[in-house]
Amino acid sequence: MPARNILVINCGSSSIKFALVNEEQAAFPLQGLAERLGSPEAVLHWQLGEAKESLDIPHADHRAALERLLPLAQEAAGGHLDGIGHRVVHGGEHFTGSTLIDDAVLDAVRTAAQLAPLHNPANLTGIEAAMALFPGLPQVSVFDTAFHQTMPEYAYRYAVPEFLYREHGVRRYGFHGTSHLYVSKRAAELTGLPVNDSCWLTAHLGNGSSTCAIVNGESRDTSMGLTPLEGLAMGTRSGDVDPNLHNYLARNLGWTLDQVDRMLNHESGLKGLSGLSNDMRTLYEARIAGHAGASLAFEVFCYRLAKSLAGMACALPRLDGLVFTGGIGENSSAIRARTLEHLKLFNFKLDDEANARCIRGVAGEIQATGSPRVMVVPTNEERQIAIDTLTLLDA
Ligand code: ADP
């Protein structure tokens, strides 16, 4: 049987990220981004092999953009696409794993949209457009939340009245599941430990960031909750704040719930603390140049991360390794080093040379002799979505 090709699609409200994943090739034959969809500036960017190209697609919506990228995907797949894997943000409690899409699945994704009103409708738009355009092709949805459905109840319940959980789904779900799953499996592979007998702490640090405790291939706790706002300080998200902050701001500043929501999701985190940027690279350079806000943002990010990892350790019977991933985790040796300085009780120590070497896609162990294992493992959510899609095709 020739190596199979899966088109992976990740639809945002005005964008589509896509990649063609071949089961036997490490590099993606095709990848790209359609952005500013629905506007006069809509544009499709793609990379086919080494060649990068762009095409203006004014006013194109999701379906029109998919229509443009279909021939590209077919060409890159040598005329044979085997399936499509869709990233879906929220699967609620309904989905404990990836699933082949049918009408019942679409209904359940629609129901879960009340938990992710910004994300699930965009994901659905992409699924419906792709199903109309590729009716004969198996399509699979892969949920950010599904991996965390193995959390024990004492980890996923909030200490709020029971009916809010029973009747309204108020509980911790967690996100970034595809990434936490992928890097923990890779870490096991790289160290020769069996997935089903290994214990990991993982830190996915990108624009959104979360930590996870993984035991024998299952998530036991994670830092994000009902929404991706809970937990770590992120690019523009506050992470944990006092739950009474809404009330305080309403009483003292007359803010509406929408204003508080916007501030916590879009004006906080690294951006809010630094007053400069949500981008860790920019902050790192500004910190070296003496920018006080950038230094504070860097310090808060690392301390909160260390605190979260220490908390996640409660879910582990032992620790086989701490894994850094995501744009920041994979590239910032300074963040890794500073975070571990706050975890002295765990006896973490870094090999500075190995820490400096593991950037830009280089994976490896970076601990010094005598320290618990610390690893850098580049994430690959597209690959994991393709793996899940292929597994369902095989079944
Ligand atoms: P997303 O969550 O949108 O997928 P990424 O995982 O690509 O984002 O991570 C983006 C973050 O990674 C940004 O804050 C960016 O500044 C940071 N980053 C990328 N390279 C470096 C680097 N060399 N040093 C520090 N931060 C970096």
Give per-residue pLDDT as tens, 301-326. Answer: 999 999 999 999 999 999 999 999 99
Q: Known binder of ligand: residue 48?
A: no
d(CA 7, CA 30): 9
Compute the Cα dihedral for 173, 177, 181, 184 and give only its sign. negative
Compute the distance from residue 334 Cα to the ligand 1 centre, in Å. 13
pLDDT band of residue 244 (cuts 50, 70, 90) is very high
DSSP for residue 206: S
pLDDT band of residue 118 (cuts 50, 70, 90) is confident
Residue 227's H or E segment, with its range, is none
Q: Encoding tokens for residue 31?
A: 């990848």
> At which residue do the structure tokens 């906080």 appear?
268
pLDDT band of residue 55 (cuts 50, 70, 90) is very high
Q: Any idea which of 132-136, 263-267, 376-380 has the lowest mean pLDDT? A: 132-136
Compute the Cα dihedral for 384, 14, 33, 327 and give only its sign. negative
pTM score, whole prediction: 0.96
The best mutation among 298, 331, 335, 382 to test binding of ligand 1, ranked by most ligand atoms within 8 Å of the C-beta, falls on: 331
Ligand 1 lined by 91 (C-beta under 6 Å): no
Ligand 1 lined by 279 (C-beta under 6 Å): yes
d(CA 192, CA 298): 34
Q: Which one-letter amino acid corresponds to residue 135? A: P
Compute the distance from residue 387 Cα to the ligand 1 centre, in Å. 25
Ligand 1 lined by 344 (C-beta under 6 Å): no
Give all domains of the chain, ordered by start, each with its CATH number.
5-143 (3.30.420.40), 193-381 (3.30.420.40)
C-alpha of 306 from chain center = 19
Cβ atoms of 180 and 197 closer than 8 Å: no
Catalytic residue list: 144
Compute the distance from residue 346 Cα to the ligand 1 centre, in Å. 26
Compute the Cα dihedral for 173, 176, 180, 182 and give only its sign. positive
d(CA 218, CA 243): 29
Ligand 1 lined by 80 (C-beta under 6 Å): no
In tens, the pLDDT along 77-104 reads 998 999 999 999 999 999 999 999 999 9
